[in-house]
Amino acid sequence: MKNILAPVMIPIILAGSPLSADVTLNFGVYTSDKPTAMVKMFRPLLNVLETRLTAKLGESTRITLQVANTYDRGIDDLITGEVDFARMGPASYIIAKGLNPDLLLLAMESNKDSKTFYGIICVQEQSPIQDLGQLKGRTFAFGNENSTIGRYLSQYLLVKQGVHAGDLSGYQYLERHDRVGAAVAAGQFDAGALKESTFKKLKSKGMKIRELARFPNVTKPWIAASDMRAEMVAALRESLLDLKDPAALKSLKKDGFLPAEDSDYVSIRESMRNNGDFFR
């Protein structure tokens, strides 16, 4: 039953302000949720960054927002310099870093002053399934094949509970967190993995899903392309770490940014390195 359901989409490029600028930066994300939701999430924060960078650099700065239609395209955009900086999930960062070791960490998102947030494995609200071991013989919806929560960490957790790919009656990669939740709510799958914020959002919209298990993840890194000039890297990093604008942070659903080191993502590397265990 393994299949990848990928929408046919053209990457969205939306400009910020000002309309004319001395410096233009392209910021990249990929569609972990609907493209419209990604724009709504990031545009307010990018507007604040434009203002801060203009003041720091003494040059009017414009930031465009480019939404890639797949995780792979988003990774490729960063390592080839199609975008100047990007926000990715931890697994995508590790993949990108492996392809281009010169990528630079700018900062990582803060979740209540923590570098941790959570993924959820959900089932239908009235499902008889009460623990992960009962998923044997059931169907499972994963997210994107490069997703930290939607694949690597959820599969790592299943293996720890004795559930392997061969124990499931079927599974699919549905690309986005919102699709996973909707598919489980509709009874198309017995269980699925998605990020906690999307789980809560879908619950608030009336979707009949229930938390079965949760697992920690490391917050998302913001990364600069390897050819970004040092002055811009410093200005971007400082602007992110000092960012306190309530409206911009509310749209991101985070409370700020924290200094990031490659070593922050050791646990994610471990889950990726051991991912083959899920398929044995």
Task: Give the pLDDT confidence of 152-195 residue by residue, as tens digits.
Answer: 999 999 999 999 999 999 999 999 999 999 999 999 999 999 99
pLDDT band at 33 (very low <50, low <70, confident <90, very high): confident
Q: Are 248 and 47 in contact (CB under 8 A)?
A: yes
User: Amino acid identity, residue 236?
Assistant: L
* Backbone dihedral region for residue 208 (phi beyond 0: left; psi -120 to 50: alpha; all else: beta): beta
Ordered by where they begin, the domains of the chain are 12-112+219-265 (3.40.190.10), 116-217 (3.40.190.10)
pLDDT band at 20 (very low <50, low <70, confident <90, very high): low
User: Amino acid identity, residue 19?
Assistant: L
Distance CA 30, CA 3 (A): 20
H-helix segments, the chain: 35-57, 71-79, 90-99, 154-160, 177-185, 196-204, 230-241, 246-252, 266-273
Task: Give the pLDDT confidence of 87-100 residue by residue, as tens digits.
Answer: 999 999 999 999 99
% residues pLDDT > 90 (the chain): 89
Mean pLDDT confidence for 206-226: 97
pLDDT band at 118 (very low <50, low <70, confident <90, very high): very high
Q: Over 70: is that where the pLDDT of 134 sits?
A: yes
